[in-house]
Amino acid sequence: MKKLFRLLQWLDNNLLKILLGIFIFLIPLYPKIPLKMVNYTYIAIRLEDIYFAFLVLIYVIHLLRKKIAIDKKFFLLFFLYWLAVFVSSIWAIYIGKTVEFKHLAFLHSLRRIEYMSVFFIAVSVVKNKKDFFFYLSLVCFALFFVNLYGIGQKFLGWPAVQTMNPEYAKGYLLYLTPEARISSTFAGHYDLAAYLVFLIPLIWGFYFARQNIYYIFLFAISLLTLVLTASRISYGAYVLSTFAFLLFMRKFKALFLVLILTTVLTLSSQNLTSRFKRTFQVKQIFVNQSTGQVILPQKITTKELPAGTFYLGTIPESGEHKKISSDQEKLLKEQLIEEIRKETSKKGKKLTIKEEEFLIASLSSRLKPINTVVSDISFATRLQVEWPRAIKAFLKNPLLGSGPSSITEATDNDYLRSLGEVGLLGTVLLTVIFYNLVAKIIDSIKKMKQSDKPIYIAFIFGLFALLVNALYIDVFEASKVAFQFWLISGLFIGSLSYYEKG
């Protein structure tokens, strides 16, 4: 009986720690298999949502029993931000009428609270330095298995579960083609890459704090995985953050190793290098002088990133460029036929061959060939569709925005998405939270032993990598990345009490 009582007492004292330890593995490693799809969106309720609800319940019970305490300063900041998000939702639903489906506005608002709540659980479980390094070790082990699975996808044909479109989000097992970008256990290559660039500086911080060769190996396979994602913005964020961190720490030998390894792996990846080359391309486009419509004749394949219709100025024409090749003329004709048939089918009509040829000739006469620099379709979509949509949503109500979910599920720029959805109020409050995270860590670094400083400085550079990534991807709305960021942030803030006491 005494043994059972001791076991129950031990479990009572450690249950929250155990549950958080499992959560550290569950979030990055469990694929995004849906339990229930939410209507009018491809967001789903998943296993991690159920598990996290249970984790929060245990946390609240511990709070009520006064076994743990909440960080009042950060809770006030977080609460004000959450309040701003809900005020934005209420305005959007009942006053501005900018949200079509009410439940989606509340769902997006609740998911922000869900992702950020883990911060307080993580703060509460770190009682000492040993706890802090234990949980970060679990984060590193989880990272190792994420890398292992991602590499297995590339070279061993292991399946993926992605949410890149509504059909994939139903939880199908996908087998990647040789030229496809890996996603490991994540929803897509973009959030896997964001997860990696956040943790890579922490790996080096851990190495400098512990001097264990395992972390150099972990860095090498993490970099390989990052290269296999072929994510250009994440690659840029990695270079800016990791190289800057090593320079700041004056670790020139490590910097040289990173430079060599980065160069070798980058040049060995045709997928990544070709995507960089195709970011901007010199092309001949055709502009309709009546409507301004841009037509870009090109073959679309899964092996190449197609060009978009956003272009930068004109290039002076030479005799060679003025001439339209037969292949390009054929592609242009095929594209015009396709567009004509789409328009006529919408009207329930079907044209004869002669009618099609007449319309093609009429359209062709209005097309002016221009030699210019065009962006790839990914960048063009952001510049022409997603970013203007977010700016338009912000201008409807600069203070509160147009409400969560009002600008669809992706803006591919977290700053514009925040401004568009929750306005200046929500965006400023979130910025204040980030500022306080960094300020508290910087203030505590001054009191630390020299051997402990690298891991805390690394966190700041990891956050910087995510902020760079947020210029092109909605990283703080990607569930796996958001959970990891707020969890790890909580571990760092929780650990600072050790130095404050010392």
What tens digit of pLDDT does each residue of 327-383 get?
A: 666 676 767 777 777 777 776 677 677 776 777 777 777 777 777 777 777 877 888
Write the single-letter amino acid at 182.
I
Domain co-membership, 231 together with 288 = no
326 class by beta-carbon count within 10 Å (0-12 exposed, 13-18 middle, 19+ buried)? exposed
* 40 phi-psi bin (left φ>0, alpha ψ -120 to 50, beta other): left
Residue 496 near residue 444 (C-beta atoms within 8 A): yes
Domain co-membership, 150 together with 86 = yes
Q: Higher-confidence residue: 51 or 371?
A: 51
pLDDT at residue 44 greater than cutoff 90: no
Residue 397 DSSP label: -
Which pLDDT band holds residue 40 (cuts at 50, 70, 90)? low
Residue 296 DSSP label: -
**What residues form DSSP beta bridges with 34?**
46
Tell whether 179 is covered by a domain.
no
Each residue of 445-489: pLDDT tens digit? 988 888 889 999 999 999 999 999 999 999 998 889 999 999 999
Tell whether 119 is covered by a domain.
yes
pTM, to two decimals: 0.90
Q: What is the pLDDT of residue 5?
A: 79
Q: What is the pLDDT of residue 321?
A: 47
Q: What is the pLDDT of residue 374?
A: 76
pLDDT at residue 315 greater than cutoff 70: no
Each residue of 59-95: pLDDT tens digit? 999 999 989 989 899 999 999 999 999 999 999 999 9
Domain co-membership, 269 together with 343 = no
Domain co-membership, 305 together with 205 = no
Tell whether 262 is covered by a domain.
yes
Q: How many CB atoms lie within 10 A of CB 427?
A: 22
Q: How many distinct structural domains can be found in the chain?
A: 2
Q: What is the pLDDT of residue 251?
A: 96
pLDDT at residue 157 greater than cutoff 50: yes
Q: What is the pLDDT of residue 350?
A: 74
Q: What is the pLDDT of residue 147?
A: 97
Q: Higher-confidence residue: 274 or 437?
A: 437
Q: What is the pLDDT of residue 264?
A: 96
Q: Where are the alpha helices (DSSP H) in 308-386?
A: 319-322, 326-346, 353-365, 377-381
Domain co-membership, 306 together with 257 = no
Domain co-membership, 15 together with 104 = yes
Residue 324 near residue 284 (C-beta atoms within 8 A): yes
Domain co-membership, 319 together with 291 = yes
Q: Where are the alpha helices (DSSP H) in 126-188?
A: 129-155
Domain end (from 388, 412, 427): 388
Which of 167-171, 224-228, 277-281 is the least confident region? 167-171
Domain co-membership, 231 together with 316 = no
Report the helix count and the strand count for the chain, using DSSP H and E: 18, 6
Domain co-membership, 362 together with 227 = no
Domain end (from 327, 362, 388): 388
One DSSP character per residue, 114-133 reads: HHHHHHHHHHHH--SHHHHH
Tell whether 358 is covered by a domain.
yes
| Distance (Å, whole) CA 28 – CA 25 | 6
Domain co-membership, 364 together with 424 = no
CA atoms within 13 A on the CB side of 72: 0
Kindly give the pairing relationship between strand 280-288 and strand 294-295: antiparallel
Residue 312 near residue 372 (C-beta atoms within 8 A): yes
352: containing domain: 278-388
Domain end (from 362, 388, 414): 388
Q: What is the pLDDT of residue 323?
A: 58
Domain co-membership, 296 together with 282 = yes
Tell whether 114 is covered by a domain.
yes
For residue 50, the surrounding DSSP H or E stretch is: helix 47-64
Each residue of 92-119: pLDDT tens digit? 999 999 988 888 888 889 999 999 999 9
Tell whether 203 is covered by a domain.
yes
pLDDT at residue 318 greater than cutoff 60: no
Tell whether 173 is covered by a domain.
no
Domain co-membership, 257 together with 310 = no
Q: What is the mean pLDDT of residues 289-307?
A: 68
Q: What is the mean pLDDT of residues 186-200?
A: 95
Q: What is the pLDDT of residue 301?
A: 62
Tell whether 317 is covered by a domain.
yes
